[in-house]
Structure 1
Amino acid sequence: MSKEQQLDVAPPYNAVAQHGVSPKPSHDEISRFDFLANFNKFLSGTLGAGNQLAYEKRVLPAFQKENGRDPKDRFEIRRAMNQDRYHQFWSALKRNSMEMRQQNGRSMVLRQLDELDAKARQYNEGRATLELNPEIDVPRYQSAVDIHCMPGSYHGEARPGDVSAGANYDCGLFATTAGGLGALSDGGGQALVEWIKKERPGWVPKRMLDIGCTVGHNIVPLALAFPDSEFIAIDTAAPILRYGHARAQSLGATNIRFIQANAEDMSRWPDGHFDWVQTTMFLHETSGKALPKIIAEGFRVLADGGLMLHLEQPEYTDEMPLFEQFLRDWDAFNNNEPFWSAMHALDMKDVMVEAGFGPGDLFETGVRAVVDREIFPEAPTGEDEDHGRAAFWHAYGAWKNVQSSQIAAE
């Protein structure tokens, strides 16, 4: 293996930091995750580049010859590319990679479920910082599909009261991001800490709301950075809340309350209750009806002068080439992400203005994952597409009533 090839190898899975409820991998499980992490890098890099060549050399000329024009949208490109043998080959490998990742993570977790559940109970039982509510229904947009090919999605239980869904999701992030989120897969949360301290030096939120928190990996770094602030992390899925709460407690983030709740109706909290309302790679997993309700409720519970921030991938604007839109759409049609395509075709500025923000309140920025360079020296540094979805995000944000406050000051 050449030096250049060596530098492109993902960090080993045994470099992943352990917390109090981490699943313990065997030798073979480590090897499988190491293979899958590097396989994902290979698919997104070396093999992924072949899709562009297939399009330019074969698919586009054939489409132009047949139709007398270029494709008009990403869907026409998808239908044409799906007939190309190279793209079929690449797509099948990518789908199989995700299924293998789920199989390895799931089997690793179920093998030690008794131990994992016992560890979680030690951190969860008797703690007021975990609030589960069996009356909360899992929305159909979450229950109708196994998102990311996860068996049972976020809410599935191998047995009542277990943490298997959260443990599987947590351990598998390493493989799907090729280590690009760091040792604790919290590079997104670390990036938010860096961003807010640079954007608003000295600003300390009293209360922050994390919507669609999953296992809390994005909120824990913020809670540790602001130990005197109150953090509320909500999700509709009890298994990942059990795991996420135990994980946070074991890492010392005891100022986070994990609550089972649906963000479409947050009437339990009064108007203006939070200084910061946050989602990270969550909105694309909600339906077209649910998303505006969640944004509107987030606006209502956000205090004047408070921050709303949503980390996602970029919108499909007219400036984005149709072929790039097609590639970004792969998850919508092949990785059980049915709302991905429609969400990224939205104009988030319009959605946020309809929720109540003034146009002058809005901003867009980019946030790059922060990782431990001593452990992950070759983690992505540019606007890389995370071998899927993780190293670099587009952020849609707003400071509530900034425009009206500025007008009043003038």
Structure 2
Amino acid sequence: MTHQFDVAPPYTAVALHGVSPQPSHDEAARFDFLANLNKYLSGTLGPGNKLAYDTRVLPGFVAENGREPRDRFEIRHAMNRDPHHRFWSALKRNSMEMRQQNGRAMVLRQLDELNARARQYNEGRDTLELDPSVAVPRYQSAIDIHCMPGSYHGEELPGDVSAGANYDCGIFATTAGGLGALSDGGGQALVKWAQTERPGWQPQRILDIGCTVGHNIVPLALAFPDCEVIAIDTAAPSLRYAHARAQSLGATNIRFVQANAENLSRWADESFDWVQTTMFLHETSGTALPRIIREGYRVLKPGGLMLHLEQPQYSDAMPLYEQFIRDWDAFNNNEPFWSAMHALDLKTIMQDAGFAADDLFVTGVRAVVDTDIFPSAGEEKEEDHGRAAVWHAYGAWKGGKPA
């Protein structure tokens, strides 16, 4: 039977795995409230920002300055004085803080049990490689990304999984279910894209950079069971959780490795068929990002695929207002590199790494969502966190796409 939801699906629609935090009645109710608050902020209150800009902020700016805004930053400073935008922005920031605190309380309440369950999947297996000598880079450690206490690498106890568990349990609320019951709509989208773009392709080795809890790489590992998948991150707590999560879901062909993608020297030149990131590049610094691309190019085989799922880069073709509203996370959601990263010319960076201009492509990828949860998922053409997320994929086939 297909169930219709007029609001975000209930938190009980989350698909549980071997290390899922178990919500109490009140914790699930809080996540349900936050999911629907996010839908309301996006779908109902969000358009009011453009109305405020068109009817109050832009005319006021022109009257004061004798010209229109030159860039997204001038729009931000002007919009930050508008009461509707201030109200919307405060609600949006508080929704993220509440999401993090609810998830954190839920995880800490059962942390001993979660750690014990994770150890059952992690101990004695050679598919989890942690290296204490790998330092968390400053661009990850200097701020609690997404307002998450301790960011991806914080530990409450030595060897715990709290950071990964908190990240995982709250994605459903943040996206209002738009990434599916396992929050793996991005990974499902990658599988669908690859099978459509290159039917019959069976990559032998995949490198996933910045894997966090592995929700985007598990679908690829399951779709290509004979493939060796390497998933790397610098955050040990997230990796412990990611490995246990993947093992419990049957994705036993993923090796989770603590490593910094700026230096992939442990892997030989031309040793991977596919190198990828999913919503990761915007969390790296302007210095680190080109190094990561260069290293990815080095370890990619001729004819191999590099693919980065991100939001669209800012360009002269993107209206300044759209750049401004997309920039919100950079200044309000502890995403300090978001603005600068989306203003970079990724094509030039990829060419500087070694790709030829003809190797490059940009395409759109929509999250694959369980239609039993969202029967109408996929109807929208634009990003809508109430339904299914849409990304731009910045990719290249090294030396050209194989026939």
Scaled to the shorter chain, the TM-score interval is over 0.9
Counterpart AA for 2:350: M
Distance 2:388 2:294 in 1: 26
Q: Which residue of 1 aligns with 2:9?
A: 11
Report what 1:59 is aligned to. 57
1:80 aligns with: 78
The amino acid across from 2:75 in the alignment is: I
Q: Specify which of 221, 245, 248 is matched with residue 247 of structure 1.
A: 245
Measure the CA separation in 2 of the matches of 1:390 and 1:275: 28
Does residue 392 (structure 1) correspond to residue 387 (structure 2)? The answer is no
1:325 is paired with a residue whose SS is helix
Distance 1:379 1:367 in 2: 14
CA distance in 1, matches of 2:33, 2:271: 46
Secondary structure at the counterpart of residue 385 of structure 2: helix
- Hey, what does 2:158 align to over in structure 1? 160
1:337 matched to which residue of 2? 335
Residue correspondence of structure 1 range 5-404 to structure 2 within 5 A: 8-379=6-377, 381-387=379-385, 391-402=389-400
Q: Within 2, Cα distance between the matches of 1:397 and 1:159?
A: 39
Q: How has the CA–CA distance of structure 1 residues 8 and 349 changed in structure 2, closer, same or farther, with 3 Å as cutoff?
A: farther
SS at match of 1:123: helix
What is the Cα deviation at residue 45 of structure 1? 1.0
Is the contact between residue 36 and residue 175 of structure 1 (CA under 8 Å) also seen in structure 2? yes
Q: Which AA in structure 1 matches 2:229?
A: F
Q: Structure 1 residues 384, 7: closer, same or farther in 2, change over 3 A?
A: farther
Amino acid at match of 2:204: K
**What is the CA–CA distance in structure 2 between the aligned matches of 1:61 and 1:393, rounded to whole Å?**
33
Q: 2:244, 2:388 → 1: CA distance?
A: 24
CA distance in 2, matches of 1:146, 1:388: 25
Can you list the C-alpha shifts for 1:233-282, whole angstroms capped at 9, x where unaligned? 00000000000000000000000000000000000000001000010000
CA contact (8 A) 1:10 1:378 kept: no
> Which residue identity does 1:276 align to in structure 2?
W
Asked whether the 8 Å contact 1:380–1:391 carries over to 2, the reply is: no
Residue aligning to 1:3: none
Maintained 8 Å contact 1:10/1:37: yes
TM-score, with normalisation over the residues of structure 1?
0.96
In structure 1, runs of 5+ residues without a counterpart are 1-5
- CA 1:246 to 1:209, structure 2 compared with 1: closer, same or farther past 3 Å? same
Distance 1:105 1:151 in 2: 10
Q: Counterparts of 2:223 and 2:12 in 1: how far apart (Å)? A: 26
